[in-house]
A and B are shown apart, each in its own frame.
Chain A
Amino acid sequence: MKERRGYKWLMYGVVAIVLLLPFGKSFGDTTGKIIIFNAGSLTIPLAQMEKDFEAKYPRVDVLREAAGSQKCARKISDLKKPCDIMASADYTVINKLLIPVYASLNIRFATNRLVLCYTDKSRYANEVNAQNWHKILGRKGVVWGHSDPNLDPCGYRALMVLQLAEKYYKIPRLYEHLIANRPKENIRPKSVELVSLLQTGNMDYAWEYRSVAVQHELKFVELPDQINLGNYKYDNFYKQATVKVTGKKPGTFLTMNGKSCTYGVALVKNAPNAEAATAFLQYMLDPQGGLKVLQKMGQPPFIPCRVPTEAMKSLLPKPLQNLVEVKD
């Protein structure tokens, strides 16, 4: 009798320990969740980075939410959603919408350029090339689109490419003419949505980052460097393009100026899990870690990553300081 009673309590003890295990926190180990808001074009590289990072730190769970970069910023600033890291397709978005209240760090880590994507089912797919693309986009019946400039940098960058094309090819009113052939229905909030529209044959051409085109195995037209926003040497030429996008409140506006695509990442102030987030950034900005993933996936990284001023460098957590250089 007594023996059996003891056995019962032992069972209870085991069950209790098993149930309480998940709540136990081991000191000194990186654990918990990391919340990342990232630009749509970083989805596939970040998914790979998540896998690699979680293999190194099995107690960590990386949660990613992809959206256009302005939308990501607004989720932090307006909706006050909890977030540890924001990775933007345009570092200026972080500067304009998050610094200084919601972030004080903005690390530039990669570049990209715009291409015109299509599939072999697209209209005039066998004709299109770097010289005639703008003629084809203007043809009646061609369905082409881009993402929403108010929510996604890829959107306003696509418009900038068109403005620059007008100047480069010296065709007056080319921009107006092309936009007239792109009804509102062909705009989507996130540029990656355009990929599935291309793949199902619902759209003929879409403006995307080269990295995304490569990752999704789409066909694409390479454009001259002067207009593809990919080469910082042409920043002065790019400057000519401007697009007005909505500001923080309905009715207010911001002006975005043409600049080469530079991706930025920020550690959000008052992050729920700053410790683990720093560890993630340590991995992401490592030339053998995250930066290598980006390279493999067709998105040229900055090696090393850059911050604009010495002041910002000193604000970085210690482990990150030797991963960046100061460059304007």
Chain B
Amino acid sequence: MKHEPFFWISVSCGIVIMAFILLPLIQMMSAPSVGMLKETIQDKDVVRSIWLSIYTAGLAALISFVLGTPLAYLLARSAFRGKRLVESIIDLPIAIPHPVVGIAILSVAGKNYWIGQILSELGIRIMGSVTGIVTVLTFVGLPFYLNATKTGFEGISPRLEKVSRSLGASLFSTFFRITFPLAWRSMLIGLIMCCARAISEFGAVVIVAYHPMIAPVMIYERFEAYGLKYSQPVAVWLVSISLILFFLLRILTLHKVKE
């Protein structure tokens, strides 16, 4: 079968993009020796830092889920003055340079600012703490969760919810029986995006917390101190573990075709 030029152009672009993404990654993943990889994963500091990355990203996703879901629903369903403004503000964290995010959060968390003073009195510490890391990761990950979930809600006809209410269901019941079962896949995809964004964050975290050390900071530190040879294996482990996690989560979103 003969294909049109447009088809071949699309395929070529696709191949270029795949190569662009895969070649550097494959080179990096295959650079360390097996021995080096084994040695790295046995280093307690490395394991601790990868685990810290995963679990702070997970916490950030959880917070995004709890705080972001009601807002996403509100944005999907209502029209109000200034809605565009709110949506633009939500997208702001994506546009701000990462070190600027770190500096901003640090300034707010310090005793020179009223929020910092309250935190200090409550004994909550942002600088150099897991709390601080989760704060930063939530800041950068929220927009991803919000946008994916909002789109998910928008894809559900409001009429379904109206019918549900007319049949006697309250707003809460309607949400849990109708909206959520239809939207959960979008929400899960939003969580995955939020997690992915959080695990890879570096520039903002390194300003707020050098220790405890998340994996990207460790990779950078090792690179600066010892060079490629000692930082690549950590990178390989982080990327591999993240890939497996995301793959498993993605499988959950596969649509089961019901008969």
Residues of A with Cβ closer than 8 Å to B? 67, 71, 74-75, 78-79, 121, 143, 150-151, 183-189, 196-197, 199-203, 246, 249-250
Q: How far is the CB of A153 from chain B (nearest CB, A)?
A: 15
| 18 additional contacts (CB under 8 A) given A74-B226, A197-B110, A200-B116 | A67-B224, A78-B227, A143-B127, A150-B225, A151-B225, A184-B211, A184-B212, A185-B209, A187-B210, A187-B211, A188-B210, A200-B109, A200-B110, A201-B110, A201-B113, A201-B117, A202-B109, A202-B111
**A74 cross-chain contacts in B, Cβ below 8 A:** 224-226
Interface residues of B in 91-144 (CB under 8 A from A): 103, 106-107, 109-113, 116-117, 120, 125-129
**B106 cross-chain contacts in A, Cβ below 8 A:** 196-197, 200, 202
CA distance in complex: A186, B129 (Å): 10
CA distance in complex: A250, B233 (Å): 14
Point out the residue from A71, A186, A196, A203 that lies within 8 Å of B224, measured CB to CB.
Answer: A71
Considering the complex of A and B, which 3 residue pairs feature the smallest CB-CB distances, nearest first? A201-B111, A185-B128, A200-B110
Interface residues of B in 196-235 (CB under 8 A from A): 209-212, 221, 224-227, 230
Does the CB pair B210–A203 fall under 8 Å? no
Closest residue of chain B to A121, judged by CB?
A: B111
Does the CB pair A202–B211 fall under 8 Å? no
Closest residue of chain B to A151, judged by CB?
A: B225
| CB within 8 Å for A246 and B225 given contacts A189-B210, A201-B116 | yes
Does the CB pair A249–B126 fall under 8 Å? no
**A78 cross-chain contacts in B, Cβ below 8 A:** 226-227
Point out the residue from B126, B225, B227 that lies within 8 Å of A202, measured CB to CB.
Answer: B126
CA distance in complex: A184, B217 (Å): 15
CA distance in complex: A186, B230 (Å): 25
**B210 cross-chain contacts in A, Cβ below 8 A:** 185, 187-189
**B226 cross-chain contacts in A, Cβ below 8 A:** 74, 78, 249-250
**B117 cross-chain contacts in A, Cβ below 8 A:** 201
| CB within 8 Å for A189 and B221 given contacts A202-B127, A203-B127, A250-B226 | yes
Closest residue of chain B to A189, judged by CB?
A: B210
Does the CB pair B112–A185 fall under 8 Å? no
| CB within 8 Å for A250 and B211 given contacts A71-B224, A121-B112, A151-B225 | no
CA distance in complex: A113, B34 (Å): 47
Q: How far is the CB of B100 from chain A (nearest CB, A)?
A: 13
Does the CB pair A197–B127 fall under 8 Å? yes
**A185 cross-chain contacts in B, Cβ below 8 A:** 127-129, 209-212
Interface residues of B in 74-102 (CB under 8 A from A): none
12 residue pairs bridging A and B, Cβ less than 8 Å apart: A74-B226, A121-B112, A150-B225, A185-B210, A185-B212, A187-B211, A200-B107, A200-B113, A201-B117, A202-B109, A202-B111, A246-B225
CA distance in complex: A197, B111 (Å): 10
CA distance in complex: A150, B120 (Å): 30
**A199 cross-chain contacts in B, Cβ below 8 A:** 110, 112
Does the CB pair A71–B225 fall under 8 Å? yes
Closest residue of chain B to A185, judged by CB?
A: B128
Q: How far is the CB of B123 from chain A (nearest CB, A)?
A: 9
CA distance in complex: A192, B24 (Å): 35
Q: How far is the CB of B131 from chain A (nearest CB, A)?
A: 11
Interface residues of B in 130-164 (CB under 8 A from A): none
Q: How far is the CB of A254 from chain B (nearest CB, A)?
A: 13
**B209 cross-chain contacts in A, Cβ below 8 A:** 185
Q: How far is the CB of B49 from chain A (nearest CB, A)?
A: 12
Closest residue of chain A to B217, judged by CB?
A: A189
CA distance in complex: A186, B210 (Å): 9
Does the CB pair B225–A186 fall under 8 Å? no
Does the CB pair A201–B225 fall under 8 Å? no
**A151 cross-chain contacts in B, Cβ below 8 A:** 225
Q: How far is the CB of A128 from chain B (nearest CB, A)?
A: 16
**A186 cross-chain contacts in B, Cβ below 8 A:** 128, 211
CA distance in complex: A67, B111 (Å): 27
CA distance in complex: A246, B230 (Å): 14
Does the CB pair A79–B212 fall under 8 Å? no
CA distance in complex: A186, B106 (Å): 14
**A71 cross-chain contacts in B, Cβ below 8 A:** 224-225
CA distance in complex: A189, B213 (Å): 12
**B225 cross-chain contacts in A, Cβ below 8 A:** 71, 74, 150-151, 246
Q: Which of A150, A151, A188, A199 has the most CB of B within 10 A?
A: A188
CA distance in complex: A249, B113 (Å): 42
CA distance in complex: A79, B79 (Å): 56
CA distance in complex: A86, B103 (Å): 29
**A183 cross-chain contacts in B, Cβ below 8 A:** 128, 211
